[in-house]
Every structure is written in structure tokens, then in C-alpha cells.
Amino acid sequence: MSVSRTTRLRHVDCWPSYGLSRQLPPDPELRFAKATLAITELYSRHLALGPPLVCTEWWTRFIDPLGLLPPEYPLRAESGLNGADLAAALMAMPDMRRRQATLDLVQYLLVGWVTAGGWDTSPYRRRMTPA
């Protein structure tokens, strides 16, 4: 008999994040992954606040976050871009628009991950609803 344990989700990030390095990689997809660092750090801090968001892992990392987006994801569907071209388009956005698009992407991927794990998605959806 297997016993599944539950824990509080505490951290989410995208790989590679390059830590606190000021150096930006030349590849657009790697530049975008680095640009997600501020968003995922803030997201992770907010995971620690409020009621626990329960799942079986305390941490998740999205490797190739743009590659995980389905063709119908609004950003991809609107632009018709994929991969490095989509990353370059995101990086060319004005700062606040890029941050919002990155937050939307992280939220979309996290809700998909929670759904695939069979956990309750309602706390995750509520967490990101504007007040």
C-alpha cells in the first residue's frame, strides 16, 4: 500500500534562472528564462503567505517554460510565434507588459501542473485573482 504525503507548495521557478548574475545570455529563450527570476521569486514569497496550497511537492521548476505552452495559449495564438521567436517578442515588450505576461505564463503553467497532479486548483486560481 502506498501512502501519499501532502505538503505546502513553497517555491516555483523556471530553468535556467542564472541566479543573481547580471550577465544576460545571448540566446532569447535563455534571456527570457533569466527574466522570469524576479516574477518567480515574488510568486514564491506569496506562496509562503496565507493558507497553505497543498500538493505532494514543496517545489516545482518549469524547464523550457515557453515550450510547455500549447498552441492555443493566448500569447502564442495572438503572435503565431514559438520558441526563440516568442522569447524575443516577450523580451521586446515594455517592462510592465513583459512582467504581466511572465506572471500569466507562470500562473498558467502552475495551474496546469496542479491539475495534472490531481490536486485542488481552486486555491491556486483564487490566489491570482486581482483584488
What is the reported pTM? 0.79
Domain ranges of the chain: 7-125
For 24-33, which contacts have Cβ atoms below 8 Å and span 24 or more sequence positions?
Answer: 27/84, 28/84, 28/85, 28/87, 28/88, 28/91, 29/64, 29/66, 29/83, 29/84, 29/87, 31/87, 31/91, 32/65, 32/66, 32/87, 32/90, 32/91, 32/102, 33/65
Per-residue pLDDT tens listing for the chain (131 residues): 444 567 788 888 887 655 556 677 778 887 788 788 888 888 888 887 766 777 788 888 888 888 888 888 888 888 888 878 888 888 889 989 988 988 888 888 888 888 888 888 887 776 554 44
